[in-house]
């Protein structure tokens, strides 16, 4: 497949150079002419294309009053089978735990303030003109549970079924989905945050999962304790700077999302006919079950 030719034909640009810089499950990203990022997605479903992402970029570039850059779409092509977005590359260094922990306390504090301010400004926007891009996380999980019941649920082991049912009980008893809804990035992780030469936040990219959703969504990765993210205290500090939010509920939301991950992986495998993802999710349930048993002893 000649990606260079596709971009030239669909976006009316002369491509002198092109380099693959990343890829997801169903998309690829390229640097074109050492200046533009082009994201390409092939899909038989227009709703899974870039229409929403472009609309949210356009909205944010019009409404958000900040020096922090987000992609500004200059080239686009959206059809049933193909979606393309092109924007000038935002220069910067991606935030990593290594970079963060090498900073002075003062620099760490300034960066946390930058992140909290960006989220507060975005979350406080009047989103009425893009309200069609609402995401109901709880309803989505209920529908995915139903899909699981209709497909492979009966073939799951008793341990796997118990994990699923205990999660569903928690989902139906929690109040974390009753809070504020706002425009969220919904994948607000270190690898989407760009720093300038002074290690201040200068860019936020990849709004592919964004929408009108629970406010707590943008703190999931900030509160995550993993090799890729900075850690729980980092997220807690940002929540305090952000203000007017229940930190305990934000942490509960993060924990619920974390607990759902194995089930989400299984459902992804079902939806996309990927047995490897089904197997990965089932294995993860056993890993977590064994860990929980050790903790109880």
- Kindly provide the b/e burial profile for residues 9-44, where b requires at least 16 CB atoms within 10 angstroms of the residue's own CB: ebbebebeebeeeeeeeebebbbbeeebbbbbbebe
Shared domain for 120 and 153, answered yes or no, is yes
2: in domain: no
| Euclidean distance between CA atoms 49 and 47, whole angstroms | 5
Q: Tens digits of per-residue pLDDT, 205-252?
A: 999 999 999 999 999 999 999 999 999 999 999 999 999 999 999 999
92 against 80, higher pLDDT: 92
Q: Tens digits of per-residue pLDDT, 90-125?
A: 999 999 999 999 999 999 999 999 999 999 999 999
State the average pLDDT over residues 29-35.
98
pTM for this one? 0.96
Last residue of a domain, one of 35, 57, 88: 88
Is 187 among the residues known to form the active site? yes
Shared domain for 168 and 291, answered yes or no, is yes
Cα–Cα distances in Å, from 67 out to 73, 185, 189, 221? 17, 17, 19, 23
Shared domain for 79 and 135, answered yes or no, is no
State the average pLDDT over residues 55-71.
98
Shared domain for 45 and 155, answered yes or no, is no
Predicted pLDDT of residue 44: 62
The total of structural domains in the chain comes to 2
pLDDT at 45 > cutoff 90? no
**Host domain of residue 250:** 93-296
48 confidence band (pLDDT: 50, 70, 90): confident
Q: Tens digits of per-residue pLDDT, 276-292?
A: 999 999 999 999 999 88
Assign residue 93 a region: left if phi > 0, alpha if psi is -120 to 50, beta otherwise? beta
Q: Tens digits of per-residue pLDDT, 157-206?
A: 999 999 999 999 999 999 999 999 999 999 999 999 999 999 999 999 99
Shared domain for 54 and 142, answered yes or no, is no
Predicted pLDDT of residue 297: 67
Shared domain for 118 and 256, answered yes or no, is yes
1: in domain: no
Query: 187, 196, 209, 255: which is the annotated catalytic residue?
Result: 187
The CATH number of residue 40's host domain is 3.30.200.20
146: in domain: yes
Residue the block writes with tokens 């300034």: 110
């Amino acid at each position: 497949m000649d990606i260079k030719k596709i971009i030239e034909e669909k976006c009316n640009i002369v491509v002198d150079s092109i380099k693959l810089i990343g890829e997801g499950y169903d998309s690829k990203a390229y640097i074109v002419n050492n200046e533009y990022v082009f994201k390409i997605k092939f899909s038989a479903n227009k709703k899974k294309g870039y229409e929403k992402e472009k609309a949210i970029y356009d909205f944010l570039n019009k409404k958000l009053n900040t020096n922090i850059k987000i992609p500004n779409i200059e080239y686009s092509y959206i059809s049933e089978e193909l979606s393309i977005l092109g924007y000038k590359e935002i220069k910067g260094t991606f935030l990593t735990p290594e970079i963060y922990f090498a900073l002075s306390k003062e620099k760490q504090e300034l960066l946390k303030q930058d992140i909290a301010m960006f989220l507060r400004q975005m979350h406080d926007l009047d989103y009425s003109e893009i309200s069609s891009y609402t995401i109901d996380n709880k309803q989505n999980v209920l529908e995915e549970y139903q899909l699981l019941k209709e497909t492979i649920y009966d073939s799951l082991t008793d341990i796997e079924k118990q994990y699923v049912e205990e999660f569903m009980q928690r989902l139906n008893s929690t109040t974390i989905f009753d809070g504020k809804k706002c425009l969220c990035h919904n994948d607000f992780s270190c690898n989407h945050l760009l720093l300038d030469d002074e290690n201040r936040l200068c860019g936020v990219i990849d709004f592919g999962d964004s929408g009108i959703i629970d406010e707590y969504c943008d703190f999931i990765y900030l509160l995550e304790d993993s090799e890729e993210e900075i850690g729980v205290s980092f997220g807690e500090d940002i929540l305090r700077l952000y203000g007017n939010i229940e930190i305990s509920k934000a942490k509960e939301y993060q924990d619920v999302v974390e607990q759902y991950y194995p089930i989400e992986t299984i459902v992804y495998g079902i939806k996309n006919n990927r047995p490897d993802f089904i197997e990965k999710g089932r294995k993860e349930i056993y890993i977590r079950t064994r860990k929980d048993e050790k903790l109880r002893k």
